[in-house]
Amino acid sequence: MLLSTPVTDAGRAYKMYATRLEKLGITTLKDFLFHIPHRYDDFSVVSKVQELQAGEVVTVKGTLIELKNQFTRSYKKIQKAVLQDETGIVDVLWFNQQFLTKTLHVGDTVALSGRVEGDGPILTLTAPVYEQIGADGVTIHTGRLVPIYPETNGVSSKWLRRQVYKLLLTAKEELEEYLPEDVRKRHHLYDLYTALWQIHFPDNLEMAMKAKERLAFDEVFLIQLAAKERRALWKEKQKGYLLELNKFEKDIDKLWESLPFELTGAQKRTVGEIFTDFSTGKPMNRLVEGDVGSGKTIVAAIAMYVAYLNGYQSVLMAPTEILAEQHFATIKKFLEKFGVGVFLATGSKKLKVPEDTKLDILIGTHAVLSEKIAFDNLGLVVIDEQQRFGVEQRSIIREKGTNPHLLTMTATPIPRTVALTLYGDLDLSIIDEMPKGRKEIKTWLVPPQKRDGAYKWIEEKITKEHDQVFIVCPFIEESENMTTVKAAKVEFERLQKNVFPKLKLAMLHGKMKAKEKDEVLADFKAKKYDILVATPVVEVGIDIPNATIILIEAADRFGLAGLHQLRGRVGRGDKQSFCLLFTESKNAQTTTRLKSLETMHNGAALAELDLQMRGAGELYGTLQHGRRWLKIASFGDFMLIERAKEEANNVFGKLPDLPLLKQKVEEVTIKQVNPD
């Protein structure tokens, strides 16, 4: 049976598991081989019975000479067995596994792996992993480093192990090596088949790590090649709109002069890069990364004004109504005075364009994707927080024009190495300066003994200076669920009743309907509430100028990048703003990590520090919203990423002469465009 065979066509045994396997990303037989273990149980110490010692984790091989179910005094069933080898016998004990007396039989030759317990001469193997030994003597569940896989309900590691082993025995001819031999030699990488065998059934931990290195290299290398392929297609095979600049130099100068502030050096550099893209005649495909408040919106407004001067329409798509309305208000204020027709379309506000008015710029949520909205001459698409939209949504909006320029923006702090890995098909601009006059947010890590004092200070700021406050409670699970919401509600009630009884509090969480969330935020912005208690659903870029304090509970649960983004919810006005970090953790590293926020105010630098201190976990949550870009490699392995990137640059021009590698790159491209 071919590795490309879908699980649903691979026989009844596989078909029964198809729906469950799909949750693990396994839809073909080949996917089993790339379902990589996340750890190993070490059952590699094989002992004779007479050598056993209490406390050891060992594997014992022998013959079952007794096996029975037995009731305890509380009427629970235990399974008792006796295993014999040439040196002696040992008792074996399992709990509530009645099926074992049907699976195993007296006289079977078995291997048992587990912990030895007992005192003195009477020892017991308690709840060991078991495996019947066949004529070839090979074991895959015992007597070795045993792979433990990501599982789902009804699909155990033991079952997965059996399928992977069977496939590896027969798959060698099909697993064609696609990595050029000179690349493998240069980086001392295993061939593909050896890497897959050793990642699943390693001879030792060192070989498992070498196998992982090969597969991790492949993953990043192929992502880079796929990105270069997409970039080449975008730049070379598609014609874009040539937007003239010299012709409209006076008009652009008037816009500069009308701005009530001077652009930062980083904003000017980014605008210059966009102008260069416009002048090539190729469709722009640029990502602008900048912290909350760094001025990405005005950069987009300038780009849209240039499109307008050249006779083209623009559209800006934002993930929420309140963000769309903020963008609308900002862009309309800057551009309407120059005769630009700026309009808004959201779920609750239908697009209305008067007959005597031209639609030059449309700003909105996914409502802009409506079939009822058509464009005469769409030249520029701007997408805010691009990772919040699916590939399909992004392509729909692009298809409303003919190869329009594409500008995507994100406030998510991303280390440059990671950004170049994930978004290798985009040109990258980083706005790494804040506007002049913007005050840094004073950040303090507050010890538990000063909590009451902090509450009193907050109350004074509200009553005397009429400031507003965010109080953020952390996710309890990886994603927002009812347990998280319940915990936030309990905290909300405690604060309202015991801490701030004289103040007006509101609550915001992810289980609320979009309309409810927008209403709460609008009321908070209108100063109807003093304090907003929220889970981290508080949206990126929400502009509440009067909110000057954010208090973050259990700050140790967040990554530095996440904390930095939350911190950006305040400091939007001209008042001094503050961020208070609360934690009950006494861990010294946690304290060091959190105190870094007191002195560091650059999001990308904080994300880089987080990678170094605690790995890439936070990046998955921040960037992917449930989708893991890297299954094997780590964002924190900068050396591997650099090596893979360098080889991708070397190999890309030779792809036409490497058909197996080219085919693999195409497979990766398809998976990235259609991740589901």
Across the range 267-285, mean pLDDT stands at: 92
Q: Please report the pLDDT score of residue 521 as a whole number.
A: 86
Within this chain, do residues 479 and 392 fall inside the same structural domain, yes or no? Answer: no
User: For the ranges 201-205, 571-575, 642-646, 652-656, which has the lowest average pLDDT?
Assistant: 571-575
pLDDT over 70 at 623, yes or no: no
For 524-528, 538-542, 587-591, 606-610, which range has the lowest pLDDT when averaged over its residues?
Answer: 538-542
Res. 386 pLDDT band, cuts 50 70 90: low
Write down the pTM of the prediction. Answer: 0.68
Question: Residue 626: is its pLDDT beyond 50?
Answer: no
pLDDT at 301: 96
Place 625 in a pLDDT band, splitting at 50, 70 and 90.
very low
* Average pLDDT score, the chain: 86
How far, in Å, CA of 287 to CA of 285, rounded? 7
478 in the same domain as 412: no
The answer to whether residue 233 scores a pLDDT higher than 70 is yes
Q: Note down the domain range covering 482.
A: 442-600
CATH of the domain at 296: 3.40.50.300
CA atoms within a 13 Å half-sphere pointing along the CA-CB vector of 3 = 17
Q: Which two tokens stand for residue 363?
A: 């700003």
d(CA 507, CA 490): 11
Q: Domain for residue 59, yes or no?
A: yes
Among the candidates 128, 143, 158, a domain finishes at 143
Q: How many separate domains does the chain show?
A: 3
**What pLDDT shows up at residue 614?**
60
pLDDT in tens, 460-480: 999 999 999 999 987 544 444
Q: How confident is the model at residue 509 (pLDDT cuts 50, 70, 90)?
A: confident
Other residues' Cβ atoms within 10 Å of the Cβ of residue 205: 12
Supply the pLDDT for residue 8. Answer: 93
CATH code for position 133:
2.40.50.140
**Are residues 459 and 586 located together in one domain of the fold?**
yes
The reply to whether 515 and 561 lie within a common domain is yes
Q: What is the pLDDT of residues 161-211, one digit of tens each?
A: 999 999 999 999 899 999 999 999 999 999 999 999 999 999 999 999 999
Question: How far is Cα 8 from Cα 12, in angstroms, rounded to an integer?
Answer: 8
Average pLDDT rounded to a whole number, residues 359-364: 93
Residues 6+ apart with CB under 8 A from 203: none
- Residue 224, pLDDT above cutoff 70: yes
Q: Are 81 and 92 in contact (CB under 8 A)?
A: yes
Residue 173 is assigned to a structural domain of this protein: no
Instruction: Report pLDDT digits (tens) over 110-160.
Output: 999 999 998 778 899 999 999 999 888 999 999 999 999 999 999 999 999
Q: Which helix (H) or strand (E) holds 395?
A: helix 391-398
Residues 450, 379, single domain; the answer is no
Q: Who's near 187: CB < 8 A, 6+ residues apart?
A: 217, 643, 647
314-353 pLDDT per residue, tens = 999 988 888 888 899 999 999 999 999 999 998 778 888 7
Average pLDDT of the residues in 401-415: 81
461 and 403 in a common domain: no
In a domain, 69, yes or no: yes
Residue 535: pLDDT band with limits 50, 70, 90:
confident
Return the SS3 of 243.
Answer: coil
367 with 450, same domain: the answer is no
Kindly state the average pLDDT of the residues 221-246.
82
Do residue 333 and residue 481 come from a single domain? Answer: no
- What pLDDT is attached to residue 372? 79
**pLDDT score for 573:** 75
pLDDT at 75 over 90: no
Distance CA 153, CA 151 (A): 7
DSSP 624: I
Give dist(CA 662, CA 649) in Å, integer: 14
What is the reported pLDDT for 387?
56
Question: Same domain, yes or no, for 425 and 396?
Answer: yes
Whether 11 is covered by a domain: the verdict is: no
Q: Specify the pLDDT at position 420.
A: 65
pLDDT at res. 421 = 67
**H helix intervals, 526-658:** 560-567, 588-599, 603-614, 617-619, 638-652
Domain-ending residue, one of 143, 178, 197: 143
Percent of the chain with pLDDT over 90: 53
Q: Identify the pLDDT of residue 482.
A: 52
Question: Would you state the structure tokens that stand for residue 53, as one six-digit string?
Answer: 């010692």
DSSP string, 425-485: TSEEEEE--PPTTPPPPEEEEE-GGGHHHHHHHHHHHHHHH--EEEEEPPPSSSS--HHHH
Q: Is the pLDDT of residue 639 over 70?
A: yes
What 3-state DSSP class applies to 164?
A: helix
pLDDT surpasses 50 at 622: no
The answer to whether residue 8 sits within a structural domain is no
pLDDT range class, residue 436, cuts 50, 70, 90: confident
- Three-state DSSP class for 482? helix
pLDDT given for residue 483 in this prediction: 55
- Assess whether 453 and 424 both reside in one domain: no
pLDDT of residue 273: 96
Rounded-to-integer distance, Cα 84 and Cα 614, Å: 47
Please tell me whether residues 341 and 288 are part of one structural domain. Answer: yes
Domain's final residue, options 120, 143, 166: 143
Q: Is the pLDDT of residue 236 over 80?
A: no
663 Cβ contact partners less than 8 Å away, ≥ 6 residues apart: 178
pLDDT of 676 above 70: no
Do 415 and 456 fall into the same domain?
no
